[in-house]
Chain A
Amino acid sequence: MDLSHTEEEQDFRARLRAWLAKVLPELPAKPSPDDWPGRRAYDLGWQRRLYDAGYAGLHWPLDAGGRGATPTQHLIFLEETERAGAPYVGANFVGLLHAGPTIAAEGTAGQRARWLPPVLRGEEVWCQGFSEPGAGSDLAALRTRAVRDGDAYVVTGSKIWTSHAEVADWCELLVRTDPAAPKHKGISWLAMPMDAPGVTVRPLRTLAGSAEFAEVFLDEVRVPVANRVGAENDGWRVTMVTLSFERGTAFVGEVVACRRTLGALARAARANGRWDDPVLRRRLGRLYGEFGALWRLTQWNVSEAQGSGGVPGIGGSVFKLAYSHARQELYDAAAEVLGAGALSLEEEWTAERLSSLSYTIAAGTSQIQRNIVAERILGLPKGR
């Protein structure tokens, strides 16, 4: 049980902190949330700066163009960038945290050389074509078909809840290549260019009011067979690699952000007198304790991952369950601090409160996560 950092890690933190202090004031103004091309340019610009400074793909393996940093260094990176208020990974989320690590782990040398450097340099954006109208929590029920025709797959179907689809260059696409096989077996993982003929993107408005994600319609889209990552019909296993990244460390920076928000909430509550209400004060105190514990849980999970060769373990489900609910409670508490002011959409915490509603749904609903915990960690029988 060691929570101390080595001299090397402390050096790394100090250099990163100094670099952030220098570079953040030079950044252009943040584009409005609905300006997707603007957001793409902003997020990729930040990625380019990280690349030039040697911080891109920190946690990616060396042979994938990454820096081969330890999970602890990656944790320090996320902690410091968030603490300094650096831009969020944004439009680069899928490329850096899902598709990239999957290609790094499962792709051929040629595939790694084609797709990974543009992600790291901030030149190409990826989106995730997993969910379908009839395949959300039951992802393996997906029906988008890919039929082999010479050296290409012909893809027909539709995807939904696809973040960044409007501005993406590539889509990590799950397709059914063998309709006769059991539902987990006949799936393949393809890299699909978003400008291919037959791809139509229809933006979907979220309850938070923004055009956050989209529906993607695929009408006989030709995707080269060479764009398949992993073996044909082995896409489910490849996907599990991706999801273990998503559930493992993707939310680490956000825990730091939530702790910062709690500090701001305490200041606001003191300023408007709400702090004198013991019920609200105790509620904030409890949240402060919970987010502290969640931060320790990320350190625990990172230590476990470091011990097992870098792939985050199933403890990610425990974290995801606890965190997604704590985040919603945090912004409910924010609304209590604001009172009627929380009804204004101009209020940043109100926008966050709305977007926090997706956390218990996205990346596997809480109900699905509890099934995973019960069946795979606790060993309870499968059933309905």
Chain B
Amino acid sequence: MDFRLTEDQRDLRAGVRELLAGRYGREALRESVASGAAVDRRLWRELGEAGFFSLRLPESEGGVGLGLPEAVLVFEEAGRALLPGPLVATHLAAGVVPGAATGSAVVTAFDLGGPLVAHLGEADAVLGAEGMPPGEPVRSVDPLTPLWRSSGVLPPEHREAGALLTAALQLGSALRTVELAVRYAGEREQFGQPIGGFQAVKHLCARMLVRAEVARTAVYAAAVTGDAAEIAAAKLLADEAAVRGARDCLQVHGGMGFTWEADVHLHLKRAWVRAEQWHTAREAEELLAARLGTEAEAEAGADAEPDAESEVAVMG
């Protein structure tokens, strides 16, 4: 057992971080916020060329042939850079929807539980749907996640990988907000000293890191085991790390944090969107409770009949 990242995995992560820093740095992010264009087709194709979408496709099918652990590291970096677009759905569509693997197609999914779907107007296809469903545009809380009112079904076979990769995006965002908070706390001075010297501010930052590090372990472990309950836990903890992390980061930024100019609100709004995608907290907690119940019965050696009730709870 050596849970740490391998040399290759560390190199992969560093490579993606470098690529995104060059291709989608802060200026590019702010430009897309200003223009409201969430999906940049040229960038999408470049991501495709870099293997972002075909990462887990077998080499025989033109893919990179890597697994979930590597995909998680790549998506962590995308989350850190706050890269917009239906990244998870397009990645899952590689090998299923023509053009998804190379990034020439933009594919979204009904991962918001039905009433809303993201990026419908910019997408070429919806994962698991025949043709493009109609939709009414809705004003979105996240300036880089346009939303439409529409309905459709999420293919169940993609649900777990979708939840895990979304958790990885949340993890990257959570880690990034720790960095943003720490940097600001070290620069901003009040009462004649950097605010990071005040215990109250320190403790906000420390709590952010603890949540992010626990989420990181959960996400990495779920990527290795692929276990449904571990994936649900990873999503739950990563959602919390991202949402609460962004809120704490906003608090550390004080008045600046409440402006459109700081990036903090973009992290928070995206984190809110992702928390509703693939697995909500309620669904994850019910799934985990069902697993706990099943395990507890098994441990007790109870030869009770299969637990129909908790299965229903999972689906709910």
Chain A residues close to B by CB (< 8 Å): 1-6, 9, 72, 262-264, 266-267, 270, 275, 278, 281-286, 288-290, 292-294, 296-297, 299-300, 302-304, 306-307, 315, 318, 321-322, 367, 369-371, 373-375, 377-384
Closest B residue by C-beta to A378: B182
**Measured CA separation A288–B296 after assembly (Å):** 11
Do A1 and B296 touch (CB < 8 A)?
no
Cβ-neighbour of A267 out of B193, B213, B300 (below 8 A): B300
**Measured CA separation A296–B219 after assembly (Å):** 10
Interface size class of B (residues with CB under 8 A): 35 or more
Closest B residue by C-beta to A70: B1
Do B1 and A318 touch (CB < 8 A)?
no
Do B194 and A266 touch (CB < 8 A)?
no
Residues in A with CB closer than 8 Å to B295 are 263, 266
Closest B residue by C-beta to A370: B206
Chain B 199-232 near chain A by CB (<8 Å), digits 1 or 0: 1011101110110011101101101110001101
Q: Is B104 in contact with chain A by the CB < 8 A criterion?
A: no
Residues in A with CB closer than 8 Å to B220 are 1, 296, 300
Residues in A with CB closer than 8 Å to B296 are 262-264, 266-267, 270
Do B218 and A303 touch (CB < 8 A)?
no
Closest A residue by C-beta to B232: A289
Closest B residue by C-beta to A4: B1
Do B202 and A284 touch (CB < 8 A)?
no
B108 to chain A, nearest CB (A): 28
Residues in B with CB closer than 8 Å to A303 are 1-4
Do B203 and A284 touch (CB < 8 A)?
no
A285 with B289: in contact, given A3-B3, A303-B4 (CB under 8 Å)?
Answer: yes
29 residue pairs bridging A and B, Cβ less than 8 Å apart: A1-B69, A2-B3, A2-B224, A263-B300, A281-B285, A281-B286, A281-B313, A282-B286, A284-B292, A285-B284, A289-B236, A289-B237, A290-B233, A292-B230, A293-B215, A293-B221, A293-B237, A294-B214, A297-B214, A297-B217, A299-B221, A300-B3, A303-B4, A315-B213, A321-B206, A367-B199, A373-B210, A378-B206, A383-B197
Residues in B with CB closer than 8 Å to A302 are 1, 3
Do B237 and A1 touch (CB < 8 A)?
no
Do A318 and B224 touch (CB < 8 A)?
no
Cβ-neighbour of A1 out of B6, B201, B207, B286 (below 8 A): B6
Q: Is B125 in contact with chain A by the CB < 8 A criterion?
A: no
Do B284 and A289 touch (CB < 8 A)?
yes
Residues in A with CB closer than 8 Å to B284 are 285, 289
A33 to chain B, nearest CB (A): 26
Do B3 and A378 touch (CB < 8 A)?
no
Interface residues of B in 139-183 (CB under 8 A from A): 178, 182
Residues in B with CB closer than 8 Å to A289 are 218, 229, 232-233, 236-237, 284-285, 288
Do A292 and B207 touch (CB < 8 A)?
no
Closest A residue by C-beta to B225: A3
B34 to chain A, nearest CB (A): 32
A183 to chain B, nearest CB (A): 20
A230 to chain B, nearest CB (A): 30
Do B210 and A322 touch (CB < 8 A)?
yes
Do A373 and B289 touch (CB < 8 A)?
no
Residues in B with CB closer than 8 Å to A264 are 296
Q: Is B9 in contact with chain A by the CB < 8 A criterion?
A: yes
Q: Is B185 in contact with chain A by the CB < 8 A criterion?
A: yes
Residues in A with CB closer than 8 Å to B193 are 381, 383
**Measured CA separation A315–B209 after assembly (Å):** 11
Residues in B with CB closer than 8 Å to A284 are 289, 292
Closest B residue by C-beta to A375: B202
A274 to chain B, nearest CB (A): 12
Closest A residue by C-beta to B287: A285
Closest B residue by C-beta to A380: B196
Q: Is B186 in contact with chain A by the CB < 8 A criterion?
A: yes
**Measured CA separation A286–B286 after assembly (Å):** 8
Residues in B with CB closer than 8 Å to A315 are 213
Interface residues of B in 259-307 (CB under 8 A from A): 282, 284-293, 295-297, 299-300
Do B4 and A380 touch (CB < 8 A)?
no
